[in-house]
Amino acid sequence: MVILWALMAVVMIGAVLGPVVLRRRRGIRQVLPGTPEAADPAQYGFRPQETLDIRLPGPDQDLLDVLDVVQRSQDWRAASQLLAGTDKHGELRWQRVQAFAGAASLELQQRPGEGGRWLRDWRAQEPKDAGGAAVHAEFLVQQAWRSSTAGSDDFRIILEEARSAVGQAALLAPGDPVPYISELAVARGLGYSPQEFDQLWLKILDRAPAHMGAHLVALPYWSEKWHGSRKQSMEFAEAAAARAPGGSLLSALPLFSLYEHLPEVNLVRNFFQSQVFTRALEGAQFAAQSAREDDPVLPHVRHLLVFFLVSSERWGEAMHQLVRVDGYAGALPWTMSDDPAAQFAVYRALAVGGYEANGGSPATLRG
């Protein structure tokens, strides 16, 4: 494990240079690209770092096509049509609302005063469009977290506006959990009491009790960093996993709880051999194996599995997850970095190097 953490430190320093790792039977180390023995991710069909899509955790071609049309034309109608045809109880609607809101927020960041005009037009021209209201509410949530410091006056003002927008969106779409999922981030930022949070959570459970996206957004509230503790976070995750229906990804939630508290657990000797880690990892692997391949939240689980499998030097298992999510870096833990694509590429290079250092090759992975 010492070798892994030392290597990670070296590789992360050189991430912007496009790290490549040397494959050897008894260890891995960073080398320059082009070195004869360098492990090359491209040999596995992995995409170049500069082409990784950081907007999404996995493929949604309909969404990407519509985003392209909307951002090119600044006409919101294609987005409205896509959301109107997306099941309001499913995970896909949540992800698409997030994606549209994130696109508008990034546009505004890049072109202040001008970017995201299509969303403003959408709300002005069709104020009763449920999709537009949901995207606007989520947009305000993302703006608060992206453009201001948590706890500041600006932060609270934007989140208060987001709370009002959530209420409007919920009235326009009875039964839709998405506006309330957006409010979960408002609750965390504004410091709802546990009783207030529970009331909000019950509204979501009434509408979509097994919604994995909702659980992912709710989990940080109960973490040590916000309004709970490591114990409360794990209890929330394990309770959800215990009631997970067949084929649900909720069994992976304890692994996300561990990630929420990673800075501390990394200090624990032999953490990656601990029972709590093994149980959480196995639960996430079981969830990934049992879920539908087209489950839109499955890539979120696979990305986190890559992170933990590489961290615990389980190279082969990491590679089998990588081949299923490569091309995308819009998920935890990569999105916590200023450069998600570079962070993903670092762990991918580590996985390839470790895999080949232990006798793996493109041929054995395909087999």
What pLDDT shows up at residue 5?
Answer: 43
Low-confidence ranges of the chain (pLDDT < 50): 1-28, 30-37
What pLDDT shows up at residue 17?
Answer: 37
Residue pointed to by tokens 């990673």: 262
Which class is domain 60-207? mainly alpha
CA atoms of 247 and 245, how far apart (whole Å): 6
- Domain extent listing, the chain: 60-207
What pLDDT shows up at residue 266?
Answer: 55
CA atoms of 247 and 289, how far apart (whole Å): 9
DSSP 224: T
Q: Is 93 within 8 Å of 87 (Cβ atoms)?
A: yes
pLDDT tens column, 222-247:
999 999 999 999 999 999 999 999 89
What pLDDT shows up at residue 189?
Answer: 97
What pLDDT shows up at residue 12?
Answer: 44
What pLDDT shows up at residue 194?
Answer: 97
CA atoms of 191 and 23, how far apart (whole Å): 49
- pTM, full prediction: 0.88
What pLDDT shows up at residue 39?
Answer: 65
Instruction: Compute the C-alpha angle 152/153/159, nearest 5°.
Output: 90
Q: At what angle do helices 298-311 and 253-260 cross, to 10 degrees?
A: 60
What pLDDT shows up at residue 326?
Answer: 96
pLDDT tens column, 310-354:
999 999 999 999 999 999 999 999 999 989 999 999 999 999 999
